[in-house]
Amino acid sequence: MAPGAVQQGAQQALPHASSVAGTAPGAPPAAATSARGGASNRIDPAQIPRATKKAAQGFASYLTRSASGVYNPPAAASDFVVQDVGNCSPRYMRPTLNQWPDRLELVSMCSMPMGLMVQPMASPAAGEEGLAVVDMGQAGPLRCVRCKAYVNPYFRFFEQGRRYTCNFCGAQGDVPTQYACALGADGRRLDAAERPELCRGSVDFVAPEAYMVRPPMPPVFFFLLDASHQSVSSGAFENACRSIKQLLGEIPQPDRARVGFATYDRAIHFFSLKAGQTQPSMLVVPDIKQVYAPCPQYLLGKLEDCREMLEELLDSLPAMHKVAPPAEAALGSAVQAAFEALKPTGGRLFVLASAMPSVGLGVLKNRAVNVAADTAHKLAAPADVTYFRMGQACAEYQVCVDLYLTPQSYMDVASLLPLARETGGGVQLYSPYNPALDSPKLFNDLRWALVRPTALEGVLRVRTSSGLTVSDHYGHFCQRSATDLDLPQMDCDKALYVSIKHEERLPKDSEAAFQCALLYTTIEGQRRIRVHTLSLPVTEVLGNLYRGADLEAQTAFLMRDAARGTGSSAFKLLRERTFERTTNILFAYRKFCASSSSSGQLILPEALKLSPLYTLGLMKSPGLVGSDAKPDERSAWLARALTAGADRVAPMVYPCMYALQTVGPGAEASGADPAAALPAPSTLSSEHMLPTGVFLVED
């Protein structure tokens, strides 16, 4: 712990955090010295800043820019409505600092992370405008001649609108004649307000043919089901068949969507869905060492042509597999075979597995027996590189793997995880699978995965203005070059964290610009480029960094940094590093921005006043708590930690707890929104739990 950060045991007094935040650096914060006198040397829990209903309510509306500057966005988990007036919504890009440090030394002083949460497909909230779709024809959008940044509201036009200056690199270029426009007295293009790309921070460009290496892919859904003994006996197989049958009607674009289906135990069973057949014919692949996809042209059927056939198949499968299902599960071979079937088109592979792969490719062993405490963290790393390589191969062919795991005991999720991580997929774990409890959840998770807004065959790149550079990416993707990320799919819930670093000092009074460009295919089959642009004021004042700090984005970094370290570092070390990162930030605030306050006071910057609480929550999460968490539970948490959007960060580290016994009778009968009937969240502390109470924890 950094000396003096929070002095346990000393008399503590909490300042009104807002008065601290409004304090100029170096000046004394207007700290309340209300505490309870010198009689007690314990921190009064009632005075510790906590996430409350009031704090989580946020603003009703948020303008992404105003004439007087850029304000901190509302908390990501709160309800708010964004109006895009030149910067993208914080739902798409949320920086860790809303005022950007001009030089590296400032960053080193405060120890705060520099980066962005990027969630390019995030869904707008009710009341918010969707993205404008701009079609510039075969010419495509205007891009900087040097750095290739896309035209945005911060491009400057001159020479009667015939030339432009790029806000990312300062290069000047010619505006194509068909895109040129005269300038008004204020130097802005006369058409700026009518062109979304010149007045909005986010826009979807229709991609011209030059952005396509092949025709846009159709939506493809391939379901791979574990039919081994463990899956059948637990009820998971029957639940999966029933759920998929019910969901066939919800698959988007039934006239274009293609579906495929296979089961596996000690062998792999494909089903041919050739148009004109009355029922699917089973094609067995018995050789699980040299796998292949038999008759690949018939393995994917057009949904509207084969829906009835598939429904009948899904009805009959549970009975077919009920009698003496083999105990062996060729999971690795089955994934490889399904990948072979998907190679020509790409697509989404839904793997519903219960048993650890025991035969064929990628066999795994139970590593979770007799593990010494000092090596327990190694269980969070994959056993070998088989599934990592498989994931990379899938990503190359635009195949995304989503894992729905329904084991009864340890199945080494950590080793399977790279399949999802390298392909932009996700992991859902239901362990131990209990049909009564888990089948509705499995159904809902599958349904949401099928219907939620999703980008296909994506390539993502984040650009920064001169003097800054992207140093790292955290998330689920495949990275083959230093700058571009391959995303076979990117859904509305998944986010990346992008670390930024200085290359040189930024000019005074300049702005730091960031642009995320995602080239993707819509589910309707149109190739587009989604561009989000953010321009932030540059500051040379340390206090401004604390004022502009974003708690959720910074916590997301802590979470992802810890998640990435799991497997290679001991849990204790990870917890210490996480703790130290937070205390360094708070200590620097104390030292440089609130140095004249009494040494016994706990001084927290307003924007980060919940950071100690969230850090402690993070240290107790399944990813960091160590041997108290089951290895598979930990791996599933790590997948969530690496992909969660900013709005999921706070609930993940500090769940909401409601004391239901305080809800009065009749609250439900009144017909009101059940969520509105919930009481204010309680403090997550044993002191606030009663043995006779009923509590709901939402995480």
The contact set with Zn ion (CB under 5 A) reads: 144, 146-147, 149, 166, 168-169, 171
CA angle, 115 as apex, 552 and 618 as ends, to 5°?
35
Q: Tell me the three state secondary structure of residue 98.
A: coil
CA angle, 579 as apex, 575 and 582 as ends, to 5°?
145
Structure tokens at 321: 């597999």
Question: Residue 146 to residues 149, 152, 220: CA-CA distances in angstroms?
Answer: 8, 15, 37
Q: Which amino acid is at 579?
A: F
Question: Number of helices and strands (H, E) in the chain?
Answer: 18, 27
The one-character DSSP state at 591 is: I
Written in H, E and C, the secondary structure of 451-511 is: HCCEEEEEEEEEEECCCEEEEEEECCCEECCCCCEEEEEEECCECEEEEEEECCCCCCCCE
Please check whether residue 207 is in contact with residue 456, taking contact to mean a CB–CB distance below 8 angstroms. Answer: no
Short-list 583, 670, 683, 517, CA closest to 148: 517
Question: Residue 159 to residues 164, 168, 189, 336: CA-CA distances in angstroms?
Answer: 8, 20, 11, 58
R_g over Cα of the chain: 27
Dihedrals φ, ψ of 229, to 5°?
A: -55, -45
In the block, residue with structure tokens 């896309």: 150
Q: How is 56-101 classified by DSSP, letter by letter? A: HH--SEEES-BTTB-PPPPPTTS--EEE-SSS--TTTEEESBSSEE
Report how far residue 501's alpha carbon sits from residue 503's, in angstroms, rounded to the nearest whole number: 7
Q: Tell me the three state secondary structure of residue 576.
A: helix
In the block, residue with structure tokens 């003496």: 324
Short-list 362, 425, 437, CA closest to 398: 425
Please check whether residue 81 is in contact with residue 502, taking contact to mean a CB–CB distance below 8 angstroms. Answer: no
Largest distance between two CA atoms of the chain:
86
Burial of 68 (0-12, 13-18, 19+ CB in 10 A): exposed
Report how far residue 100's alpha carbon sits from residue 88's, in angstroms, rounded to the nearest whole number: 16
Give 3-state DSSP helix, strand, coil % of the chain, rounded to 5: 30, 20, 45
Report how far residue 323's alpha carbon sits from residue 278's, in angstroms, rounded to the nearest whole number: 25
Structure tokens at 209: 């043919």
Report how far residue 386's alpha carbon sits from residue 367's, in angstroms, rounded to the nearest whole number: 16
Cα–chain-centroid distance for residue 572? Answer: 26
Contacts of 66 (CB under 8 A, 6+ apart): 85
453 DSSP β-pair partners? none
Dihedrals φ, ψ of 559, to 5°?
A: -65, -45
Contacts of 627 (CB under 8 A, 6+ apart): 373, 376, 571
Report how far residue 18's alpha carbon sits from residue 27's, in angstroms, rounded to the nearest whole number: 14
Structure tokens at 250: 């919800």
